Amino acid sequence: MKKRVFALAAHPDDIEFGMSGTLILLARAGCEIHYMNIANGSCGTAEYDADTIAAIRLEEAKNAAQGLGAVFYKPLVPDLDIFYNKELLAKLGSVIRDVAPDILLIPSPEDYMEDHTNACRLAVTAAFTRGMQNFPVDPPRKIVNKEVAVYHAQAHGNRDALNRMVYPDIFVNISDVVEEKAMILAEHKSQKEWLDRSQGFNAYLDIMKKYGKEMGKLSKQWDFAEGWRQHNPLGLCAADSNPLADLLPGFIKKNI
């Protein structure tokens, strides 16, 4: 059976910046890809009202998910409303049970803003609750009794809230797919145009490549890479489970 991969992040374009190279490779390896942003991008503009930009960014995210060949799930809250609370956990827990992933790709536990770190915390707990019959999810769904391997992407910009470097445990070689990754990121036209005006033409795509090149240099092997850390497997999967390594032989290197 196909492995089911769920990429879950805070905002529209977070998946494209930090995860999409790995997702392209996993799709090529025969995996079924699922895609969700918890927040709707309502604060990502200097010119539109919240409802207008949220509608624009929803379509951009759908287009990006289509480029990845992914099943798309709608956001749950506006920007800056990602809080670690029971109500949002119940909603996200329902989505996790619906997707029933074998692999869950989520943000870093350390990042530059609270939406990202709260998204990480919610995703980890939602994964734990997948088999808890006494935890009510919204909408109600049956529990899922299967293992899930959880991996954390790099912090945005490869640095935490105190601007310290975040070092991955695993590198994934994305050198051959970095241009495809850029095309998918470019679907977020409202964000690209915003940065083009303020930081120069193609700044949006150049920033993504800069981060990937930094990881490639750190790998001491590849031109471009994405970094990952696997979450403690207790309560999630077998201690020796590492499906990224199993699915992407030749593209994986441990950070020793």
Question: Quick check: 120 pLDDT over 60?
Answer: yes
Mean pLDDT of 127-142: 98
**Separation between Cα atoms, residue 251 and residue 171, nearest integer Å:** 8
**Separation between Cα atoms, residue 16 and residue 248, nearest integer Å:** 19
Burial of 201 (0-12, 13-18, 19+ CB in 10 A): exposed
Would you list the domain boundaries of the chain?
4-254
Beta carbons of 93 and 135 less than 8 angstroms apart: yes
Mean pLDDT of 133-145: 97
Beta carbons of 16 and 184 less than 8 angstroms apart: yes
CATH number for the region 4-254 comes to 3.40.50.10320
The average confidence (pLDDT) of the chain is: 95
pLDDT digits (tens, 9 = 90+) for 37-72: 999 999 988 889 999 999 999 999 999 999 999 999
pLDDT digits (tens, 9 = 90+) for 153-206: 999 999 999 999 999 999 999 999 999 999 999 999 998 777 766 555 568 899
Q: Which helix (H) or strand (E) holds 73?
A: strand 71-73
What is the band of 97 on the pLDDT scale with cuts at 50, 70, 90? very high
**Separation between Cα atoms, residue 21 and residue 47, nearest integer Å:** 31
Q: Rounded to whole angstroms, what are the CA distances from 230 to 60, 148, 193, 237?
A: 29, 11, 34, 11
pTM of the model: 0.96
